[in-house]
A = this chain, B = another copy of it.
Amino acid sequence: MTRFSLNQATTKRWPLDELVAGCVAAGVPAVGLWREEVAEYGLDKAATLVRDAGLTVSSLCRSGFFHEPDWYDNNRRAIDEAAALGTDTLVLVSGGLPGKSRDIDGARRHVSDAIGALVPDAQAAGVRLAIEALHPMFASDRCVVSTLGQALQIAAPHPADAVGVVIDTYHLWWDDQVWHQIEQAGEQGRIAAFQLADWITPLPEGVLLGRGLPGTGCVDLRRFATAVGEAGYQGWVEVEVFHEDVWSRPGAEVLAEAFAGYRKYAE
């Protein structure tokens, strides 16, 4: 069976029931879901829809955002949502600098503490916290965890089945340390998710919606897939792309292209 999973953000405007039907029709066995879209559809209804269709939820995106005052309650809810959807992987994006702070070391320490505080809740729910490093261009406003090395450091004090890391090609491709860190992540049993997206330029204003479907950019995706495989990862491979041009296309067409990209670069 294929290990490809469609991350819902790639087809953001595809209604969830159509997305699920589209995956079934295309022989895609898994989806990565997003909290906002799931909440809009209804958590229990979404869980039933996906389960009845025979799909696996490869991950729930995303929680974290530890710079916000209500981070603890919000993350507790996210853990429950992941459990309700039947996924064992909750992706954490750490959040940026609080307020007018210039103390990135302090923000990173807070992220470590916050994740530590959530570990018992996650373990009780059978959900693994998957720390995602975001590209350094997001360090101030979205994620102070900027490298796989930092994600591994934050995960280190906790059991590997409670806290893992996400390998996302878009965020990590520029880093010459990443190949060694993927090996380390594998040795530690920390690889919780693997996400494919390509790097294209020019970046749009705000830079969030600048990703390309696999094959449209400059990332050596095959090298990542090989490295992650050699590190022992045998889980789902999500294609996760945010781009206005991709979102404006029909969901089934984007799904087909994402699936083809997976086959070409990561199968």
- Interface set of A (CB-CB < 8 Å, partner B): 97, 100-105, 108, 135-137, 139-141, 146-147, 150, 173-176, 199, 201-207, 217-220
Contact = CB atoms under 8 A, between A and B. Distances in A.
A108 B101 CA distance: 34
A140 B218 contact: yes
Given A139-B174, A150-B176, A199-B140, A102 B218 contact: yes
A139 B201 CA distance: 10
Question: How many chain copies?
Answer: 2
The 5 A-B residue pairs whose C-beta atoms are closest, nearest first, are A139-B174, A137-B137, A136-B174, A102-B220, A205-B205
Given A204-B205, A205-B203, A218 B97 contact: yes
Contacts of A100: 218
A20 to B, nearest CB: 34
Contacts of A137: 135-137, 203, 207
Contacts of A105: 176
Given A100-B218, A140-B174, A202-B205, 11 more contacts: A97-B218, A101-B218, A104-B218, A135-B136, A135-B137, A136-B137, A136-B174, A137-B137, A139-B173, A150-B176, A203-B203
